[in-house]
A and B are shown apart, each in its own frame.
Chain A
Amino acid sequence: MIAVGALLHAKQLSRSPFEIATALIIPVVQATLAVYLFRAGGEPGRLLEAAVGAGLMGVWSSVLFGSGGAIQNQRWQGTLEMIMLAPRPPALVVLPITLATAITGTYAMVATLAWGRLLYGIPLTFADPVAFAVAVPGCIVGLGMFGLLLASTFVLMRNANALTNTLEYPIWLVSGMLVPITVLPGWTGPVAAVLPTTWGARAVREAATGSGPVWPSLGICLAISLACLVLGALMMTHVERRARAAATLALA
């Protein structure tokens, strides 16, 4: 049921003209950004790393906006009531949607790499192609679960959209998608350590550049994501009840 749900939601998402436009433009911007940042830093050797990081930023944006908007979108479409009527735990109903946003985000990763190759000639030689091929989907599934926690938190907040916007860049930075964590101020360390994005990004980067063992990072990413999933599921059940009491399932 989760698979069918995620697939169909991905289909619905990927057919939105807005999404298509964003998906075409953003990766180009991100690839360019990555390339110039690192050229300026005088480290042309790390271009691939930069491109991978930029791709991850794309995945994160997709999950963040997708999950943040998931509930709101369903409400606008009038489908929120219909899916909540399903005789299933609410978390199971929402998870496919957040997974779908992560899946469409994968495309951002692929596109960023493709543009990087095409426009700037970044060599796509991965240190460990197999690990990379596993780490990326692993990271995406992890982010999808993290998205569920976000989605459930967002239902409780009226101004979810504002929060979404403010969360985009800090997470890019803190998780080390853009620049290595080591150059960030010390206090961000603990924050980074509990974010699944950090570990996911690290795993993907390690697989791409061979800078470390991939599996521990990926494992930690999935473990944290799983915790998010459990927390998100509990939260969703609570939130659903609150929504039924407060009559916020419908647009009205």
Chain B
Amino acid sequence: MSEYAIEAAGLRRTYRSRTGWLRPQRREVEAVRGVDLTVGNGELFGLLGPNGAGKTTTIKLLNTLLIPTAGTARICGFDVVRQTREVRRRIGYVFGGDRGLYDRLSARDNLRYFAELYGVPGREQKRRIAELLELVRLAGRENERVEGYSRGMRQRLHIARGLLHRPRVLFLDEPSIGVDPVAARELRQTVADLAATGTTVLLTTHYMAEADELCGRIAVIAGGRIQALGTPAELRHHADGRRVLEVEAYGVTDERLAAIHALPRVREASLEVIGAAQVLAVQSDAGVDVQADVLRELDGVRLGRVTARQPTLEDAYVAIVNRVDERRSPEAVPA
């Protein structure tokens, strides 16, 4: 067996699409621009990044759904382009969202079909399916048609499907989308258990806490390149020497956010919507207090709690991703 579960070298992928029919226009998107990555056996590896960063594309390059434009990748030592079948035998793929299932069939029929397709031996199928239905808490409802399932139930069925053939490497692309907090916690437990028993997991998520809790190592990807890679503790160093001011607010506009970001001693500013409220996180150097300046910019906006705290993984992530944006913006503005 190969030393690494996942190896990628110089992985690139360009999408070419044609739009327009009478006057066709070619459009090219460089989604992944040179990703190098090695993930060891049994490792739980996280892939974080903003929308459109190239996470899904990277996963599809690794799980044989896309052929790379350049570069190579191996799964358990098998090349993803030349040894497709060997790779497919060893991988599971779960993506977020409610598509990808046969709606008019029951959960059991869905699993039966994919068990057959993914080569689970006939003798084992029944037991394996029952086991997985139990694991994702769908036992008892397995004979209902999937069209009547809630989003979270579909997502759990997706996960069961991905595990049918006991894959050695599991790709989870935003598996916790639409899953309620209790189920999300169970999902994290399931993923952690899988990793503990030797399954390699590559996970993408937009929930920092999830990545922080689960992942042994994390790569932050933006603009199709890996911008930072390390353990959660190592990544947190990107926000070292910073201090975070958190303001609960209602009705902060993009202009105000930009104005705050432009304040002289502010390093980062980001806005997150939590329920009805917005949470504004402003990073500054540890020694300075920007509270007065920030509150002046927020004049007229209804505010809630204002707190100062130590930086988290999320703050480090924001710092990394914004650094990329700043570096890229000069070229994005043509003369």
Q: Give B185 Cβ to nearest chain A Cβ, in Å.
A: 26
B113: which A residues are within 8 A, CB to CB?
Answer: 4-5, 8
Known pairs A79-B101, A87-B89; A5 contacts B65 (CB<8 A): no
- Establish whether residues B103 and A77, one from each chain, have CB atoms under 8 Å apart when the complex forms: yes
- Establish whether residues A85 and B65, one from each chain, have CB atoms under 8 Å apart when the complex forms: yes
Does B161 touch A at the CB level, under 8 Å?
yes
Does A178 touch B at the CB level, under 8 Å?
no
Q: Give B170 Cβ to nearest chain A Cβ, in Å.
A: 12
Q: Give A227 Cβ to nearest chain B Cβ, in Å.
A: 25
Known pairs A81-B100, A85-B88; A249 contacts B117 (CB<8 A): no
Q: Give B89 Cβ to nearest chain A Cβ, in Å.
A: 4
The segment from A57-65, A114-122, A126-134, A240-248 found at the interface with B is A240-248
- Establish whether residues A4 and B112, one from each chain, have CB atoms under 8 Å apart when the complex forms: yes
B64: which A residues are within 8 A, CB to CB?
Answer: 85, 244
- Establish whether residues B117 and A8, one from each chain, have CB atoms under 8 Å apart when the complex forms: no
B212: which A residues are within 8 A, CB to CB?
Answer: none
Does B105 touch A at the CB level, under 8 Å?
yes
The segment from A10-18, A30-38, A147-155, A161-169 found at the interface with B is A10-18
A11: which B residues are within 8 A, CB to CB?
Answer: 104-105, 109
A83 to B104 alpha-carbon distance, docked (Å): 17
- Establish whether residues B117 and A88, one from each chain, have CB atoms under 8 Å apart when the complex forms: yes
A140 to B102 alpha-carbon distance, docked (Å): 24
Of all chain B residues, the one with the shortest Cβ separation from A84 is: B65
Of all chain B residues, the one with the shortest Cβ separation from A77 is: B99
Does B186 touch A at the CB level, under 8 Å?
no
Does B317 touch A at the CB level, under 8 Å?
no
- Establish whether residues A82 and B104, one from each chain, have CB atoms under 8 Å apart when the complex forms: no
B109: which A residues are within 8 A, CB to CB?
Answer: 8, 11
A128 to B145 alpha-carbon distance, docked (Å): 42
Does B283 touch A at the CB level, under 8 Å?
no
A246 to B114 alpha-carbon distance, docked (Å): 25
Give the residue of B88, B97, B112, B119 whose beta carbon is less than 8 angstroms from that of A8: B112
A86: which B residues are within 8 A, CB to CB?
Answer: 88, 114, 117-119
- Establish whether residues B93 and A82, one from each chain, have CB atoms under 8 Å apart when the complex forms: yes
A78: which B residues are within 8 A, CB to CB?
Answer: 97, 99-101
A107 to B271 alpha-carbon distance, docked (Å): 58
Does A93 touch B at the CB level, under 8 Å?
yes
Known pairs A8-B109, A244-B64; A79 contacts B102 (CB<8 A): yes
Of all chain A residues, the one with the shortest Cβ separation from B89 is: A87
Does B85 touch A at the CB level, under 8 Å?
yes
- Establish whether residues A5 and B116, one from each chain, have CB atoms under 8 Å apart when the complex forms: yes
Taking CB atoms and an 8 Å cut-off, the chain A residues in 80-136 that contact chain B are 81-88, 93
Of all chain B residues, the one with the shortest Cβ separation from A252 is: B15
Q: Which 6 A-B pairs have the closest CB atoms?
A: A78-B99, A78-B100, A15-B104, A87-B88, A86-B117, A87-B89
User: Which residues of B are at the interface with A, using a C-beta cutoff of 8 A?
Assistant: 15-16, 60, 63-67, 85-86, 88-89, 91, 93, 97, 99-105, 109, 112-114, 116-119, 145, 161
Instruction: Show 16 A/B contacts (Cβ-Cβ < 8 Å), sorted by A.
Output: A4-B112, A8-B112, A12-B103, A15-B104, A15-B105, A15-B145, A77-B102, A77-B103, A78-B99, A79-B100, A82-B161, A85-B91, A86-B88, A87-B86, A88-B85, A250-B60
